[in-house]
Amino acid sequence: MALTLTETVYDGEDFTEVDLSDTEIEGIEFIDCDFSHGSLARTSTRRVTFTRCRFVGAEMYSSTHRAGSFLGCTFERTSWADTSLNGCRLLGTTFTSCRLTGIRFVDCDLTLASFAGEKLAGVDLSGLRMREMNLTEADLHGCDLRRADLAGTRATRADLRGADLRGAVIDAGVWVTARLEGAVIDLDQAVLFAAAHGLTLARGES
């Protein structure tokens, strides 16, 4: 079902199975709305805020989002493939069994978001604010995490093999519980890694 948006605020609206694909949305606020089984595929949004909205079995693929917010939203079995987010906030938003292939984040804040168990292999996450996230068992294989701020983030059994972690802020627990084979780290991180494993770094024997 196609729909034309005429309001600036939608509170508690049911957009289930609504087709908003291939549209441009600007300056609208959605609060406690349900977009399940609907489509925002190839949609372009600017300064749009989604607060506590629900997306189950929805389509977001190939969409672009600029200077927007997803606050406390729930995405389940939703396709985000080839989606671009620029200057967006995803605070406290949860992703479960979503397709994230080719997703792009630029200057985004993912604080308190949950990607537990999600597949983000190869995604560029460099420079992002990722504090207190839940990345438990997430697939971050080969990700670019340079200069990302992951302070307080849980990454138990996360797959960070081959990831570039240089300059990233990472708590000590991650060094113990995550898979790190082939990951690239800097010298300061090497000290933290050693300390987390009870090792002491010292100069060579003179």
pLDDT tens for 7-44 read 799 999 999 999 999 999 999 999 999 999 999 999 99
Distance between CA 20 and CA 7 in Å, rounded? 14
Over residues 171-179, mean pLDDT: 83
Model confidence pLDDT, tens digit, residues 83-111? 999 999 999 999 999 999 999 999 999 99
pLDDT, tens digit (0-9, with 9 covering 90-100), for 43-82: 999 999 999 999 999 999 999 999 999 999 999 999 999 9
Distance (Å, whole) CA 201 – CA 172: 16
The pLDDT of residue 134 is: 97
Q: Is residue 1 scored above 80 in pLDDT?
A: no
Give dist(CA 38, CA 27) in Å, integer.
20
Of residues 172 and 153, the one with the higher pLDDT is 153
Q: Residue 199's pLDDT is what?
A: 80
Does residue 195 surpass a pLDDT of 90?
no
At 35 the pLDDT is 98
Kindly report the number of other CB atoms within 10 A of residue 169's CB atom.
Answer: 16
Higher pLDDT, 151 or 189: 151
Mind listing the pLDDT tens digit for each residue in 112-149?
A: 999 999 999 999 999 999 999 999 999 999 999 999 99
Whole-number pLDDT of residue 4: 63
What's the token pair of residue 88?
């967006």
pLDDT on residue 30: 98
pLDDT given for residue 124 in this prediction: 97
Query: Cα(60)–Cα(190) distance, rounded to whole angstroms?
Result: 39
What are the C-alpha distances in Å from 159 to residues 124, 178, 187?
15, 6, 21
| DSSP three-state, residue 103 | coil
CA distance linking residue 78 with residue 149, whole number of Å: 26
Instruction: Kindly state the percentage of the chain with pLDDT values over 70.
Output: 97
Residue 128 amino acid letter: L
Residue 174's SS3 state is: helix
Phi and psi, residue 194, nearest 5°: -60, -45
The pLDDT assigned to 3 comes to: 57
Q: What is the pTM of this model?
A: 0.91
